[in-house]
Amino acid sequence: MKRTLDRAPFFLIAVLFLLLSTSADAFAQTKSKALPRVNRQSAAQGAPASQLKDPAVERKIEALLKQMTLDEKIGQMNQFSFGAPTGPGTSRSEYGEMIAAGKLGSVFNLTGAKETNQLQRAAMTKSRLKIPIIFGLDVIHGYRTTFPIPLALAATWNPELVQQTASAAAHEAAAEGVRWTFSPMIDISRDARWGRIIEGAGEDPFLGSAMARAYVMGYQGARLSDPGSIAACAKHFVGYGAAEAGREYNTTQIPERLLREVYLAPFNAAVNAGAATLMSAFNDLNDVPASANPFTIKQILKKEWGFRGFVVSDWTSIKEVIAHGIANDGPTAARKAVLAGVDMDMEGELYISTLAAQVKSGAVPVSVIDDAVRRILRVKFALGLFDNPYANEKVLPANLDAAHVDLARTAAEQSFVLLKNEKGVLPLSAAAKTIAVIGPLADDADAMLGAWGGKGDAKNVITLQASLQDFADKHHMRLLHEKGTEIRGGTDAGIPAAVNAARQADVVLLAVGESAGDMTGEAASRTVIDLPGLQTKLLEAVAAAGKPTVLIVFSGRPLTLTPVVDKVNAVVQAWHPGIQAGPALWRVLSGQANFSGKLTVSMPRAVGQLPLYYNALNTGRPHLKVDLTHPPTNGDEKYVSRYIDELNAPLFPFGYGLSYTKFDYSRVSISAKSLSSESLNADSQSLKVSVDVKNTGERDGVEVAELYLGERGTSISRPVRELKGFQRVALKAGESKQVEFTVGKEQLRFWNIDMRQIVEPGIVTVWVGPDSQTENSAEFSIGK
Ligand code: NOJ
């Protein structure tokens, strides 16, 4: 496609824009169909959890366990980082010796076939029992090919695509000896102050569960022992995303029902999809640190859910239970963690240094150690490490896999969310002969890599500026570029030049937002989440030039755009989109591709609204239509659940996103008006919900149709509505399709007043529409 454009004289571009814009989705689909080496296993196929249940393997584990000394067992439970710390520092060099002595079961932050093989050789040739090392790494949104950040990937509402990105990352990582990723991060977060909101799927447990499954299936493939498969690690178990006030590592208080309905749901999905490992979290949960929490790990995860893989702590999170206040020394911390069910100690050195003595004294039963070791060996066997411990040392191509690069572009394209498009300023008019690209994010390759860029290299990033320059050079278009100011700090010295560029332009693209590593991700909570530095000042000055202005926001969280959104004509939420940032953006801005992404977090108007989420309870005095033009004039306006200085509603709601075309929904139709809770609980009854979705515009497009349910009259208060289904529907201009959902036990049950997960009688509203504020609804009742 790009080559076609290269040869086209400029006067043909207008025609080309039109042609391309109508075939955009067909193009995107052809691209993704061509992807090789992608595990396309579906949820229904092959009961992945059974990979950790092979009787033949269990016999091998028992035989091995019998030969192991206590020290060798505890060695398996010990994990060290190989330099490159992602937490408080480590400066070790004795890895080889420790492995040979059977004192280390896992190493992370080491990559490269030769490098990992070297340590593996110590395990396989020098250690007494020749138990292979499992090498781990944070492969979060790609390995060498950096995909959009997970929050952006979630905005595609396309689990199949996310599964493909995870599969691509798995193949790349495995080729360099890494057979275990500390991903997916599936913490639900309702608070955009928390920097790690970038790593998850947003605020919703249903969507979060779909994404959790997608990552697990993508990483682990059809069989964990396949050479391109790596073990997943669902993290952080559990509740980390509810950090009070959005402050990193902060305490969480989550009542059991909320825990089960919201925060545990994606973990349950990951475990059911076969996730081989989980990571225990840093936070204190209901007064018990998550890394020494028997209720969540031993009771729920291992007993109720039957999880057979192993749990690794987070970085020194076992040691940190001392700071949390439930242990006064290392041995107690280690004992509480291991008894709670944490099987492997990441970086803490407490298992290796204190458990043997505690087993000997009887403080820790050896059966607890055996259980942990069994789990670790089980995953090592499932990965095929005993038979194939070494990575292939063949020389890897210097260039990225072209199919993975295409996938990165498709993923980025689908992750962009069009929030506003006034007077059709987008797609860009082919008549625009001068484009001004302004802002500190237009050419910032590092920021495009996001906070967990893996082995991503800024050299492989094509920025927006680079894409536009390339296009402009070839087509004699004039491109003006001014940075204007820095992302943070900086001065306003560059603003006059930026305004000058804007004045000369037919259209202005303003690329603003957050940097990646220092402003988003771990240890990057913010109390103010507007455009940092002098970017708002830059925006105001540039917008005052009066040219059609498109705001492109690169960020790892929803920002409070309230003060700026009215000053520009269009707003694109672009996240941190990965190596193909520029080409993907250019395709949607120019209309070669259509927007289809939708928000998976409510975008706050003001930071004071946080935590903010659509699936909230109603309150006894609900008030959504607050009028801020005057102070409350009577009791009905005043004594309701509201703020006196801001609306309750988000600036843009969960599920929201525009397209270049328009979609009409027919009224919701349901196949029954009343159901019985008894039949629903027996899973012998369900109903069909359907709507016709019509593309009434002139371009092809993809609409995400969203199904929400809300029940009243139940034993406990239920959220006003909850997402219970979604479908991406590709519609040609003028085309109409029926979209159907099934609603039954799975969608209607909840943890009731007796803490039983059942369907209760009540009145249910069903909504189907384009976002979480849709009013397109029908109602049915559930009787006895
Ligand atoms: C700490 C982070 O919380 C966790 O997500 C990560 O996997 C580990 N460090 C290892 O890097």
- Please report the DSSP string for 712-779 in residue order: ESSSS---S-EEEEEEEEEE-TT-EEEEEEEESHHHH-EE-TTS-EE---EEEEEEEESSTT---EEE
Beta bridge partners of 675: 782
Ligand 1 pocket mutation pick from 279, 311, 455 by most atoms within 8 angstroms of CB: 279
User: How close is the Cα of 533 to the center of ligand 1, in Å?
Assistant: 29
Q: Please, what's the b/e burial string for 82-121 (b: 16 or more CB within 10 A of its CB; e: otherwise)? A: beeeeeeebeeeebeebbbbbbbbbbbbbbbbebbbebbb
Q: Which residue, by CA, sits nearest to atom 11 of ligand 1?
A: 86
d(CA 393, CA 395): 6
Q: Which residue, by CA, sits nearest to atom 3 of ligand 1?
A: 314
Contacts by 88-92, CB closer than 8 A, 24 or more apart: 88/315, 88/316, 90/347
d(CA 142, CA 165): 7
Please state, in angstroms and as integers, the Cα–Cα distance from residue 535 to each residue in 107, 379, 548, 552, 701, following that order. Answer: 42, 49, 18, 12, 33
Residue 248: CB within 6 Å of ligand 1?
no
Residue 315: CB within 6 Å of ligand 1?
yes
d(CA 179, CA 560): 39
Ligand 1 pocket mutation pick from 86, 111, 189, 219 by most atoms within 8 angstroms of CB: 86
Q: Which residue has the tokens 């020290």?
A: 71
- Averages of pLDDT over runs of 10 residues in the chain (784 residues) are 33 36 31 37 49 95 98 98 62 87 97 97 98 98 98 98 98 98 98 98 98 98 97 98 98 98 98 98 98 98 98 98 98 99 97 98 98 98 98 96 98 98 93 96 98 92 97 92 97 98 98 97 98 98 98 98 98 98 98 98 98 97 88 92 95 98 98 98 98 98 98 98 98 98 98 98 98 98 98
Residue 240: CB within 6 Å of ligand 1?
no
Contact 451, 520 (CB under 8 A): yes
Q: Which of 531, 526, 556 is nearest to 200 (CA)?
A: 556
> Three-state SS string across 693-730, please?
EEECCCCCEEEEEEEEEEEECCCCCCCCCEEEEEEEEE
Ligand 1 pocket mutation pick from 109, 315, 344, 452 by most atoms within 8 angstroms of CB: 315
User: How close is the Cα of 277 to the center of ligand 1, in Å?
Assistant: 14
Residue 756 neighbours by CB under 8 Å, 6+ apart: none
Contact 420, 567 (CB under 8 A): no
User: How close is the Cα of 86 to the center of ligand 1, in Å?
Assistant: 7
User: Among the atoms of ligand 1, which is closest to the Cα of residue 109?
Assistant: 11
Question: What's residue 465's pLDDT?
Answer: 98
Question: What's residue 92's pLDDT?
Answer: 77
Residue 310 neighbours by CB under 8 Å, 6+ apart: 276, 277, 278, 343, 344, 372, 375, 376, 378, 379
Q: Please, what's the b/e burial string for 377-399 (b: 16 or more CB within 10 A of its CB; e: otherwise)? A: bbbbbbbbbbeebbbeeeeeeee
Question: What's residue 91's pLDDT?
Answer: 63
Residue 86: CB within 6 Å of ligand 1?
yes
Residue 143: CB within 6 Å of ligand 1?
no
Amino acid found at 134:
I
User: How close is the Cα of 315 to the center of ligand 1, in Å?
Assistant: 6
Q: Which residues of 84-182 form beta strands (DSSP E)?
A: 106-108, 134-137, 180-181
Question: What's residue 30's pLDDT?
Answer: 30
d(CA 212, CA 443): 32
* Gyration radius of the chain's alpha carbons: 27
User: How close is the Cα of 200 to the center of ligand 1, in Å?
Assistant: 14
Q: Which residue, by CA, sits nearest to atom 1 of ligand 1?
A: 315
d(CA 305, CA 277): 13
The helix/strand count (H/E) of the chain reads as 26, 27
Tokens of 282: 């840093």
Q: Which residue, by CA, sits nearest to atom 7 of ligand 1?
A: 182
User: Among the atoms of ligand 1, which is closest to the Cα of residue 281?
Assistant: 3
Ligand 1 pocket mutation pick from 82, 215, 522 by most atoms within 8 angstroms of CB: 522
Residue 235: CB within 6 Å of ligand 1?
yes
Residue 195: phi, psi to the nearest 5?
-60, -30
N residues, the chain: 784
Concerning whether 314 is annotated as a catalytic residue, the answer is: yes
Helix (H) or strand (E) holding 690: strand 687-695
Contact 119, 433 (CB under 8 A): no
Pairing of strands 570-573, 549-554: parallel
Q: Which residues of 263-373 form beta strands (DSSP E)?
A: 277-280, 284-285, 288-289, 310-312, 345-346
d(CA 475, CA 577): 26
User: Among the atoms of ligand 1, which is closest to the Cα of residue 86?
Assistant: 11
The DSSP annotation for 493-536 comes to TTHHHHHHHHHH-SEEEEEEE--STTTSSTT---S--S--TTHH
Q: Please, what's the b/e burial string for 583-612 (b: 16 or more CB within 10 A of its CB; e: otherwise)? A: bbbbbbbbbbbbbbbbbbbbbbbbbebbbb
Residue 138: CB within 6 Å of ligand 1?
yes
Helix, strand, or coil here: 603?
strand
Alpha carbon of residue 709 to chain centroid: 24
Question: What's residue 289's pLDDT?
Answer: 98
Tokens of 772: 């979480």
User: How close is the Cα of 565 to the center of ligand 1, in Å?
Assistant: 35
Question: What's residue 49's pLDDT?
Answer: 64
Helix, strand, or coil here: 256?
helix
Among the options 314, 345, 406, 771, which is catalytic? 314
DSSP assignment, residue 452? Answer: T
Tokens of 136: 């781990």
Helix, strand, or coil here: 226?
coil
Residue 320: CB within 6 Å of ligand 1?
no
Residue 90: CB within 6 Å of ligand 1?
no
Start-to-end CA span in the chain (Å): 60
Q: Which residue has the tokens 């993975």?
A: 404
d(CA 617, CA 613): 10
d(CA 210, CA 187): 13
Q: Which of 178, 171, 173, 110 is nearest to 390 (CA)?
A: 178
d(CA 279, CA 185): 9
Contact 518, 478 (CB under 8 A): no
DSSP assignment, residue 214? Answer: H
DSSP assignment, residue 321? Answer: H
Q: Which residue has the tokens 């075309």?
A: 661
pTM, two decimal places: 0.94
Cβ neighbours of 724 (radius 10 Å): 20
Contact 205, 266 (CB under 8 A): yes
